Structure 1
Amino acid sequence: MVRLGLIGLTVLSILGTAFELATERHWHSWEQLIPWGALVVLAVAVALAVLQDSPEAVLLVRALSSVVLLVALFGVYAHVAANYDTGFLDHRYAATWETLPALSRWWYALTKSVGPAPPLAPGMLAQTALLLLLVTITRQPSEPRTLSDASR
């Protein structure tokens, strides 16, 4: 039951992320196509997780999810860095941006107090990849375990 719930949440997260990317018209450069590719990879991995129960399939789902997780974490960094780099343009901080403590500037960039890039969007992609990794942990093996398997 937990596995089905996680698969459902993963599918909803993929659809939600795709909706967010579409509403933001996130397709104007090759960099903006990366999360679309990551969503396709996650969709393939979900299908594989549902349709295959072999150890090889589980390893492939884990590998695909891990790649998407790394891409998403880089996306969070890229969004925060882009916000940080444009912080001096914000009218509230234009005169004081360079004098603010570095931690404050990074916090403003992370929380999107400055800059246009939403760090939560790639964060949502990372969460989806983590959900799919959890699916592989909660999977039921295709062959029932015996007492001799448990002792190994």
Structure 2
Amino acid sequence: MGHIQYLTDWTIGLAVLILLFLIADILTPSDSWKPFIRFTAGLIFLFWMLSPLKLFAGGPEALTLSLTDGLEKWVSDEKKNADELIESMSSDQSAYILEQSEDTVLHMIQESCSCEINEVEISEKNQTYSITLSITENSENQEALLENTSELMGIPTSQITIIY
């Protein structure tokens, strides 16, 4: 249906609607019902007056598409924000776990080799862990410390570094 035909049908429908509203207002038996009839008629009239806007907005399909596009963008943005939040929480949790593990490893190594270790640092790279032991003095038992730590942690000695 073309735009001219649509507007012609709309105008005829508007004239019929106004005529029906006038008849309903005249035939209403009591004054107590008139406000309800006028309110209902006003709502119908308002929607009838707004109906040509869909013609200029590209029809109901265009309105649906723009709402769908907006909703998809919103969902995409929210998913991206959630992913960033989860990633942030995961890295914070990993850092906390490594920090707690360093304390545990420090006590385990000190108890097993009866030596003084100042600090243990655990680092992770590409899902491979390495341990750096900080000791106070150059000990002759470095080889034993490396072997002991390797055995306790279940990692090769190449992933263990001793610094003074």
Structure-2-length-normalised TM-score: 0.29
The structure that has the greater radius of gyration is: 2
Could you say which structure has the higher strand fraction? 2
